[in-house]
Amino acid sequence: MIWKSPITVEQINQRYGDKNHIGSLLDITFTEIGDDYLKATMPVDARTHQPYGLLHGGASVVLAETLGSVASVLCVDPLKYDCVGIEVNANHLKAVRSGFVTGVCAPIRIGATVHVWEIKMYNEQGKMNCLSRLTVMVVPKGKV
């Protein structure tokens, strides 16, 4: 298991879902945690659409950064360290107009000061619509 301490999806949603931030505004909900992955869903609706009625690429990036950032925090001692995204990219592979997308976040590298995550996003039919990579810097508390 890559997580610093055992934690449930309910605890993750309580800790990160009830705050006034972009993840909660877009209704990102954590749905599953495994030994080495974290999953979350996001609705595809007016909040996440671009002008053509498709899922906005920026909303996909918000889902990716939310998943990867929370995953990094779960891998460190949060009393000693903060985790901040320093680079994110996304390849938008398939248009999504409605429903939900599910992001699956898994580590590429978990180092002492840098974490790299791969986030694959799928539509409700199980087809990958986005592939993203997030690099997170682990910094001592109070240095952000």
Catalytic residues: 65
The dihedral built from the CA positions of residue 19, 82, 133 and 126, taken in this order, carries a sign that is negative
Distances (CA, A) of 42 to 31, 49, 129: 10, 12, 13
Ramachandran quadrant class, 27 (left: phi over 0; alpha: psi -120 to 50; beta: rest):
left
Beta pairing partners, 117: 107, 134
Query: Are the beta carbons of 45 and 28 closer than 8 angstroms?
Result: no
